[in-house]
A and B are shown apart, each in its own frame.
Chain A
Amino acid sequence: MSDRSRYPELVDGKPAVDLDSEKYVKLWHGPQHPGITGNMSLELILCGDEVVDCKTHVGYLHRGFEKLMERRTWIQNFPVVCRIAVPEPAFNEYLYAAGVEELAGIRPPERAQWIRNLNLEMMRLASYMAWLGGQAGAFGNNTIGQWTITHRDYLLDLFEEMTGGRIYHMYMLPGGVRSGLPDGFEGRLEAVLQKCEKLLKEIELVLLNNSVFKARAVGLGYIDKDMIDRYGITGPNQRACGVKRDLRKDAPYLVYDRLDFEIITGTASDAYERTWVRYREMHQCIDLCRQIMARMPKEGPFHEPLPNVLHWRIPPGQTYVKAECTRGEKGYYLVSDGSLYPRRICIRGPSYTHAFPVMEKLAIGTDIADIAGLMVSLHTYPPEIER
């Protein structure tokens, strides 16, 4: 990276690209591209098939959630937040609920905390399933995506009976959850977990021990350890670099402090290592789901009664609540001025960091064919960038 002799000259820190010189090609990667995890685009400057500059463009999914929420009552925001990260809405639901509970001084019942924890771990597994298909697909292994998306659907079936919805569950609302688990849920969950375990074993063989995948992913998108704090990189992207940080351990929420698990880390810090860390975290999710099912209270209240939500005023105050989502630290900053509406809600999604400064840096020097694989290896969700 230090040798810039082949790259365009930097003027004020920006590459001076003269497209008329016919030495460079500008290529838009996205906003509609299977290698991009949603509607987002990378403006690439290529020299041959090598990327010499990359600029991330967003705005295709902007729905103005943060502003929208200032015009809705506290309860009306509950169905809004899940849409902020489409493939894993549950983390948004949890954080919004947790933030409101903190401001309003509500303590959800014990059982609700266990159910929420189960929901989040199932969500993590489902989200990784979708990502795994994308990661394999970005390197041409499209069949794997069909298997993982199917298994994600098995998990969505479970969400459907648990929450009433497949994608947007709208289940964890301030005060707890909307219902207990349906009868016989544990057995059906275990059956799906076993299916997932079987699939993961096969994926280890077909993807992680695949010479083609290794040849392309090893060494791709190396994240240097000193970038971690400078860029604010979190989640598996950070752990694959050997930094042992995980909010589930460092700042335990819900019932994580009562579950047995270790932070999974890697060392090589490239696309392959990140895949490997996530792969092992999927096994960890399965294990955590089993632990939760074995230990959770089966009876008891699952929701702390709320006052009439139509006139629900939250005492003035502010809070920042955070949780470890699949991609790293996700945080909700909530401010209440004591009225019926939030004064300000700001959402910190890890995708912003990973898809903007990190991606723009890692792309340089990468072959155009690996851009999709690199992008997916950072695991970003564009809707989370455009709140």
Chain B
Amino acid sequence: MPLKDVIAPFYVWKRAFEKPYTTAKPIEERPGAASYRGFHTNDMALCVGCGTCETICQNEAIDMVPVPGIETTAKDSGLRPMVDNGRCCWCALCVDICTTGSLRLTNEYIWVSTDSDGFRFIPGTGDNPWDDKALGYRRDPGYRLMDYERQDMAMLTPEESARSFLEVVKGYSAEQARKEAERCVDCGICIATCPAHMDIPEYIKAVRDGDFETGLRLLYRTNPMPATCGRICTHRCEEVCSVGHMGDPVAIRWLKRYICDQVPESDYADILRDQSTSNGRKVAIIGAGPGGLSAAYYLTRLGYAVTLYESQEKGGGMLRYGVPSYRLPYDQLDKDIDYILSLGATIHYNTRVGRELRFPELMADFDAIFFSVGLSDPYGLGVEGEDHPRVLSGLKVLEDVTHDRDPDVGRRVAVIGGGNVAMDAARVSRRLGAEVTVLYRRRIEDMPADPEEIHEAQAEQVKFVTQAIPVRVEEGPSPRQVNIRWGEAEMVADEKGGRPRPVLMEDRIHTETYDSIISAIGQGGDYEFLSDEYADRVEMKRGKVIANEYRQTTIPKLFVGGDIANNTADAISAIADGHQAAVGIDHFLSSGS
């Protein structure tokens, strides 16, 4: 044995005098590192309760629970994550996947409690001892577990679109649709917001799976006009999409369109299998717009004999006569309508109730009536000279284009208004070769039109003049021309907290000459057809018909839906109304109440 091996160990005797390495808790504290994965905390105001944390947690340590003081709203499920520290492994995938970035970890790792149930807690309530501690782990912006960018939609260039009535949006490719569908986190917040409560996460899953038959069946459960809505829906679902908090919302509308584009109409009957047996009852529907068609579909499926009365020569209502074909091609609208009518409903075109036949007759002949006649009475500008022959109505212009008639807008056009009708009228006029100026009372951000429509109109060289209030319409230099006097407005904050009001500045008045002025500042309902006998009995408020949750009016067998009965006045709300009314009529006729 070498002597070194006996002596060497004694070289380290100095270690005996070294200080201990341990932290003398509780005298000393050792905070976790800056990115330590400690206990959860949550920014309750930022969190929308999407539940993605719950979905990704591989230990099922997170449950979404109601929390006092958190209300369910359109954008918020009203639930918040509850963490079970008995199951949590602090992997922080919940933090990484959180769609709002509200869920984070603190760097606190010691917790003593006498409450034996306290290991289950709701982060961010302020009741947890670590809620005010320094934040630990947060997702580094350099990495992500989901795709925040939407798949680009192929569109006509503004130069191309301004010259033709071809559909502007070209649709997704299979690869794009699958990628876009993968972006969905299945939270379902969109379902509550959709007026028709469509099964959005489920049909998006169908796109991911490439199972378009299931997708189509899911669409028709709540919406019998999916090809239409896949193009022109106001898509409020996308406004609340939880993915939209940190990225682009999922293109829900385009995915709906994609499903419909994949299935030819000839396959619809086989896939949907909507056959039903007649129950012997008859329902009349006045107006074959989205509301009437939706009601017709669901009533037919329930076995009712449905008769539709449509004043125009074709069905679709505002979808056909108010939405230009570059947004909604007629063949797509016809695809939806043809399938609904193929189920057996009778439709009388060019039949206006109140003109070709009387409303009381319908009341006598049918077990129930649903009416969804839309808002067809354009509001006047309310200024002197507005009945000048060169002042056209936006709706009339759009209707003429649908009928293939020249609306005769001229070369220089002013459109007054900021809604979708105004945008459509402006873009249609562009396509007819006119130079178009939109005059709007408020600011761009106040416009009720879809932002996409505004952007596309701008791209198509429509000129926007905002905070412009029409003052008077005057004779133009020639009979084919018209002058408009308009004044600049300043926005004045509303004392009651409402949106700011435009106030005319009397000293800034301009006069301009146009070939035509298209008025598109909204429209009201026309209830003349109800006849005096019933008009008084149908309760109304601010020009809209009052109805209960089943869309039943104050006359029990009379149901109502669409723009005349809701405040959102869009196609999807009308479709939802039609569905609710069908359920309501069925309930009414079965139970008698």
Contact = CB atoms under 8 A, between A and B. Distances in A.
Do A and B actually bind? yes
Given A164-B92, A205-B8, A206-B11, A75 B33 contact: no
Contacts of A147: 15
B205 to A, nearest CB: 8
A165 B90 contact: yes
Nearest to A146: B21
B20 to A, nearest CB: 9
A147 B182 CA distance: 51
A69 to B, nearest CB: 10
Interface string A151-195: 001000100110111001010000111111010000000000000
A305 B143 contact: yes
Interface of B: 1-2, 4-6, 8-9, 11-12, 15, 21, 32-37, 52, 55-56, 58, 89-93, 96-97, 105, 136-137, 140, 142-147, 179, 181-186, 208
A11 interface: no
Contacts of B136: 164
A170 B91 contact: yes
Contacts of B34: 161, 182
Contacts of B143: 175-179, 302-303, 305
A308 interface: yes
A379 B2 CA distance: 28
A1 interface: no
**Would you call the interface of chain B mostly helix, strand, loop, or mixed?**
loop
B84 to A, nearest CB: 15
A22 B96 CA distance: 63
Contacts of A306: 144-146
A79 B140 CA distance: 18
Nearest to A68: B58
A72 B137 CA distance: 24
B179 A310 contact: no
Contacts of A227: none
Contact of B145 (A180, A302, A309): A309
Contacts of B2: 211
Contacts of B91: 78-79, 168, 170
Contacts of A161: 33-35
A202 interface: yes
A78 B137 contact: no
Nearest to A150: B21
Nearest to A151: B21
A220 B496 CA distance: 90
Interface in A274-311: 301-303, 305-311
B93 A79 contact: yes
Interface in A66-110: 72-73, 75-80
Given A164-B37, A206-B8, A308-B184, 8 more contacts: A75-B93, A163-B35, A168-B90, A202-B11, A202-B12, A303-B142, A303-B144, A309-B145
Contacts of B9: 205-207, 209-210
- Can you list the 4 inter-chain pairs with the closest CB atoms, starting with the nearest? A79-B91, A303-B143, A76-B58, A209-B8
A210 B4 CA distance: 8
Contacts of B11: 202, 205-206
Contacts of B97: 309-310
Contacts of B15: 147, 202
A75 B183 contact: no
A157 B146 CA distance: 30
Contacts of A180: 140, 142
B12 A179 contact: no
